[in-house]
Amino acid sequence: MTTPVAAPQPVLAAPTLDDVQLDFEKVPRRGRAFFTYPLEVFHRYSVGAFALLFLVVGSSAITVGGAYQSARITLATNSSNTLRIPAQPLRGPNTIVALASTGETVQRIINQPLSLTVGGQPVAINADTIKSWLQVVANHKQGVAYIHVNETAIGKSLDEAATPFTKAASDQVTVTYSDGSSSVIATGKNGSKVGDTTAARQQIAQSLLGAKGLQANLPVESLAFAAVTPAAFDKLIEVNVVSKQMWLYDKGALTHQYPISAGAAATPTPIGQFKIYSKLAVQDMKGFNADGSKYLQPHVRWINYFLPGGYAVHGNYWRPQSWFGAINSSHGCVSLPDSQAKEVYDWAPLGTTVITHA
């Protein structure tokens, strides 16, 4: 039978004195008479005599204490009446089943159809995941088991299912140039997050033990992007792959401008908003050309990786100065002469935003 609250606890019979037997028969009786009439002794004898008697009594008391300590005390319990603390049902949804059918019941629960959608998109929940939501507490004395639903484990699984649907919003960045014109260098994109999972978690917990299948949905909420300027960034690198120029902004103030060479037509520089995640002072670069042939460029200096896949801002010693600001020639990276590349390398720490645009 299924119960939404904790099942009644089995009641044990209270232990009786027959369960515990203390064997005092071997305790010597010597010395017990000294404690029979203490008041009579006190009134009959003088203080001096009483002091002497106190020494004798104290000595005898030590003897008696030692006799009791050395005497054998037997705690006889019948194995069939052994006192045990029974298994208790856990707080929350439980079902109680015969111990012998526990495995069959668990299999029926974990193999039931469970449909979970996140923002209307189906998400698979397998039997192993459902099994991780269950806890079995066996009561061997009563011959039953409590199958308990762990809501905390359900919540953890729902949070994991929500992860692919959680995305931060990308700010829309607008730059105003010295001539008064402005341009959107990064288009804003809304983000998303999964709403409160409490209702879905409770729904699953209350229905799971019925093993009749269930359906739950997690709502997805939109996160609006913000419209900002370079002043919103501590440091910002702007790259225009069409004009082949790079600008550096420090808290909104334009500090440097460099001519660059971006990706060639067959191997273009990705467009978007990124962050520098790795910096290397020197590295041998290798990869594939557009025609599939391999290339190796040794000792490339002042590298700032901003996108996995090998995309970076770095130095370029193998192209003539005239190419920068005029010809896009790279495999997708943004390159500039070594002396200027070092300035960028020293200026831009890890985490610096890089925005590339046309």
For residues 224 and 89, membership in a common domain is answered with yes
Domain count, the chain: 3
For residues 297 and 320, membership in a common domain is answered with yes
For residues 115 and 36, membership in a common domain is answered with no
Lowest mean pLDDT among 26-40, 181-195, 198-212, 318-332: 26-40
Domain ranges, residue 251: 230-357
For residues 39 and 103, membership in a common domain is answered with no
Asked if pLDDT for residue 44 goes beyond 70, the answer is no
| 144, part of any domain | yes
| 297, part of any domain | yes
For residues 224 and 237, membership in a common domain is answered with no
CA distance 50 to 53: 5
What average pLDDT score do residues 224-232 get? 98
54-86 pLDDT per residue, tens: 333 444 333 333 333 333 323 333 334 333 344
For residues 332 and 215, membership in a common domain is answered with no
For residues 64 and 127, membership in a common domain is answered with no
Lowest mean pLDDT among 45-49, 200-204, 240-244, 259-263: 45-49
| 123, part of any domain | yes
CATH code, domain with 151? 3.10.20.800
| 99, part of any domain | yes
Q: Which of 196, 228, 260 is the last residue of a domain?
A: 228
Contacts 24+ apart (CB under 8 A), 160-167: 161/116, 161/118, 161/123, 161/125, 161/218, 162/118, 162/193, 162/194, 162/197, 162/218, 165/118, 165/119, 165/121, 165/192, 165/193, 165/194, 165/220, 166/192, 166/193, 166/194, 167/191, 167/192, 167/193, 167/223
| 124, part of any domain | yes
Per-residue pLDDT, 87: 55
214-218/220-223 β-pairing: unpaired
| 288, part of any domain | yes
Lowest mean pLDDT among 73-87, 162-176, 284-298, 319-333: 73-87
| 44, part of any domain | yes
Number of C-beta neighbours around residue 266 at 10 A: 10
Per-residue pLDDT, 74: 31
For residues 184 and 247, membership in a common domain is answered with no
Per-residue pLDDT, 241: 99
Per-residue pLDDT, 20: 30
For residues 219 and 234, membership in a common domain is answered with no
Cβ pair 192, 223 in contact under 8 A: yes
For residues 296 and 245, membership in a common domain is answered with yes
289-313 pLDDT per residue, tens: 999 999 999 999 999 999 999 999 9
Sheet strand arrangement including 227-228? 182-186, 172-176, 227-228
Per-residue pLDDT, 89: 62
Q: Which of 200, 228, 256 is the last residue of a domain?
A: 228
Q: What percent of the chain shows pLDDT beyond 90?
A: 72
| 80, part of any domain | no
For residues 103 and 131, membership in a common domain is answered with yes
CATH code, domain with 277? 2.40.440.10
For residues 221 and 99, membership in a common domain is answered with yes
CB contact set of 14 (below 8 Å; sequence gap of 6+) = none
Q: Which of 16, 43, 70 is the last residue of a domain?
A: 70
